Amino acid sequence: MEIDAAREVRTTCPYCGVGCGVLAKIAADGQVSVRGDPDHPANFGRLCSKGSALAETIDLDGRLLHPQIHDRPAGWNEALDLVASTFQHTIAEHGPDAVAFYVSGQLLTEDYYLANKLMKGFIGSANIDTNSRLCMASSVAGHRRAFGSDTVPGTYEDLELADLIVLVGSNLAWCHPVLYQRIAAAREKRPEMKIVLVDPRRTMTSDIADMHLAIAPDGDVALFTGLLAWLGQYNALDPAYITAHTAGFGQALFAASTLDLAGVAAATGLSEDELSRFYSLFARTEKTVTVYSQGVNQSSQGTDKVNAIINCHLATGRIGKPGAGPFSVTGQPNAMGGREVGGMANMLAAHMEIENPGHRERVQRFWKAPAIAGKPGLKAVEMFKAVADGRIKAMWIMATNPVDSMPDAGAVEAAIKACPFVVVSDVLAKTDTIRHAHVGLPATAWGEKDGTVTNSERRISRQRAFLPAPGEARPDWWIIAEVARRMGFGEAFARESAAGIFAEHAALSGFENDGERDFDIGAYAAIDVEDYEGLAPFHWPAPSPGTPLRPAERGGHARRQSENDVQADPQPRKNTQSGHAPITTRFFADGNFYTPDRKARFIALRPTVETRITAAFPLVLNTGRIRDHWHTMTRTGKSPRLSQHIAEPFVEIHPEDAQRYGIGDADIARVWTPRGEVLVRVLVTTRQRPGSLFAPMHWTDQFAARGRLDTLTASLADPVSGQPALKHVAARIEKFTAG
Ligand code: SF4
């Protein structure tokens, strides 16, 4: 591509789910600079430390620039032929379920769509799952149980309109920094806004919290089930809303009523006074938003935690209204886009259900596919177990590094090493995963590729290329299409650009979904290649035909007109998920949900206390992110500026525990779990609860860690969502002394 040094390119940050708009520019000397896009509705010009350092992470050091087979350079034709023929032979000999794709929330929607189409419609298996399973699968499952669909009701504007924000298991200050900045700015304007942080740790987010509830690990179901009982006991419910728009309230309240305040206190480790103050604040504050992320999702009770929160919002009618609702925020830049295109093992494209025969028939007919997966495939943890026991014989890993990021990572590495055929497409030549690949395929990176991402509030934004593709790197969608073509599916994968793929996905998303009408692909048909190039950020559901898609051409992205206008452009929209009335407001504003009777479902929950600690492993290890690094540091590790914030891996421990185990601040400690051990620097801090440890997940052997943290975590997962419990691992600690 030709570089236009005079032009700033509008694109989107590739890190977290806030999805900030970025303006990237190349100077005459080739230097790239970035700044926040002042017109992007997610960030209005703000960027956090990671976003600001994007230009420092785009050099070609360590890039995979040519296809390789067993570490030797190969041409594209040879590599693609080998991938296609090996997958074909494996399928012919062992059936379609003997192959699997493990993909990533780093992929763009167009890549995700095509990978899902190839596996579910043409190979005929649903063995495609994503590293987003580790991030937000419990929220997806909780939404589907309560709303009948994976629909996120919240928007970023709601956080500024709320009078009470309850942050549960969410360190926004470090993990979604621009959202944190928006809340802090709103609070400065409205000091009466209250913020409650529910987190075992006193994180940086507690700096703006009026109340910090240092809850016991996995105490969340008890906390919110207790809240439901309390709301019933003190007549703080919305009976009219419950009657008109929900089902199952009686059973849920009955189950909750078995728990009194003393029981909640015992299960959560909070005092009855703390609980009463929180419950009373929630009860009297109409405009309440409950924000939650990995502290809720990454649990063996993750889905129940999500539904315990949603139950309280349904019981008070606080959903579908400005400044009120449950709101899960996603970790990765395109976790939401993956949900839209069915990038998970139990979903189909366009939010359709793999277990719904009508949906399967529709998707197959639209794709003109020879097959369609008939049942959900293997979720991430199960998938690597199937690799380990030989059921999966050929695997394609795209844009992710599971050897470092999966729970029980040592077992995952052993499984990948033993797998007869492993393909990895990635931007880097030497991740801990690609070194076990039989075939490595060079993919284009941020700044070199075109596509779309969807952020936590369902806003779809363009990523745009402003750099030429280096070496022989190609977009992920191109690589997938070339393999599909060589497998004999060429016609269905003949798209020549990301724009063409998006238009196909958009057309599929426009299908009527009410089971009565025939196809209606008109809803997105207006999105053509020209629209795509200038596409301004917009909220899903998408605009109706004829709605202008390029407000930027009129001098910037359209701003919100009123509290109820939460979309990028105040034009009438068609709700393409239901196929019913045009949407001019927010999801669930009319009290209708996506269940057959249009009523939301309460889930009856009885909290259970899980004790994983033992005499040998008496502490609970919690894992998470720090402010300036991202995942396994393959990009942020390139920036010395980002590494200055925290230079080495560490473990946080409460002073009482440090004294008990004879460990001092800045000592090196050995942290053990039943699966392995790491050596890390000790940080003694009262931010940590007694009995708990915290360690960041980022450092790997490549970044001088002595042992990978994810070799310590367990593959225990939530039974509904399949999301691993990365926040609650039994561990022990001792001071390390050399020799
Ligand atoms: Fe990027 Fe997230 Fe930071 Fe925004 S908040 S600049 S999306 S990392």
Q: What is the pLDDT of residues 309-351, one digit of tens each?
A: 999 999 999 999 999 999 999 877 787 778 788 888 988 988 8
Q: What is the pLDDT of residues 219-232, one digit of tens each?
A: 999 999 999 999 99
Interval between CA 730 and ligand 1 midpoint (Å): 32
Asked whether 51 lines ligand 1 (CB < 6 A), one says: yes
Q: Ligand 1 atom closest to Cα of 47?
A: 6
Q: Ligand 1 atom closest to Cα of 18?
A: 7
**Of 318, 150, 323, which is closest to residue 241 (Cα–Cα)?**
318
Q: Ligand 1 atom closest to Cα of 52?
A: 6
Asked whether 19 lines ligand 1 (CB < 6 A), one says: yes
Could you please state the CATH topology (level 3) that the domain comprising 137-329 is classified under: Dimethylsulfoxide Reductase; domain 2 (3.40.228)
Q: What tokens appear for 334 in the block? A: 């395109």
* C-beta neighbour count of 186 within 10 angstroms: 16
CATH 2.20.25.90 fits 8-57, yes or no: yes
Asked whether 48 lines ligand 1 (CB < 6 A), one says: yes
73 forms beta bridges with 68
Give the residue with greater pLDDT, 626 vs 401: 401
Give the residue with greater pLDDT, 578 vs 677: 677
Contact between 56 and 635 (Cβ < 8 Å): no
Indicate the residue type of 613.
I
Distance CA 216, CA 235 (A): 28
pLDDT at 642: 82
Task: Kindly calculate the radius of gyration of the chain based on its CA atoms and give it in whole angstroms.
Answer: 25
Mean pLDDT of the chain: 87
What stretch of H or E contains 327?
strand 325-328
Asked whether 47 lines ligand 1 (CB < 6 A), one says: yes
Interval between CA 12 and ligand 1 midpoint (Å): 9
Instruction: Look up residue 97 and give its DSSP letter.
Output: G
| Atom 2 of ligand 1: nearest residue by CA position | 16
Confidence of residue 566 (pLDDT cuts 50, 70, 90): very low
Contact between 138 and 297 (Cβ < 8 Å): yes
pLDDT at 9: 95
Could you please state the CATH topology (level 3) that the domain comprising 68-134+334-509 is classified under: Rossmann fold (3.40.50)
CATH 2.40.40.20 fits 619-735, yes or no: yes
Distance CA 390, CA 371 (A): 24
Asked whether 177 lines ligand 1 (CB < 6 A), one says: yes
Asked whether 18 lines ligand 1 (CB < 6 A), one says: yes
Please state which of the ranges 81-95, 334-348, 408-422, 598-612 shows the lowest mean pLDDT.
334-348
pLDDT at 706: 59
Res. 577: pLDDT tops 60: no
Distance CA 29, CA 37 (A): 23
Contact between 225 and 607 (Cβ < 8 Å): yes
ipTM for the assembly = 0.99
* C-beta neighbour count of 36 within 10 angstroms: 21
pTM above 0.80? yes
Instruction: Look up residue 245 and give its DSSP letter.
Output: H
Asked whether 283 lines ligand 1 (CB < 6 A), one says: no
Sequence-ordered strand ranges (E) for 268-420 = 288-292, 325-328, 394-398
**Of 238, 233, 232, 221, which is closest to residue 288 (Cα–Cα)?**
238
Q: What is the pLDDT of residues 507-541, one digit of tens each?
A: 887 654 444 333 333 344 456 667 788 888 888 76
Asked whether 178 lines ligand 1 (CB < 6 A), one says: yes
Average pLDDT over residues 135-144: 91
Domain ranges for the chain: 8-57, 68-134+334-509, 137-329, 619-735
Residue of 49, 50, 459 with the most ligand 1 atoms within 8 Å of its CB, for mutation: 50
Q: What is the pLDDT of residues 107-116, one digit of tens each?
A: 999 999 999 9
Asked whether 15 lines ligand 1 (CB < 6 A), one says: yes
Confidence of residue 574 (pLDDT cuts 50, 70, 90): very low
Q: Ligand 1 atom closest to Cα of 15?
A: 8
What stretch of H or E contains 143?
helix 137-147
Interval between CA 539 and ligand 1 midpoint (Å): 18
First to last CA, the chain: 57
How long, in residues, is the chain?
A: 739
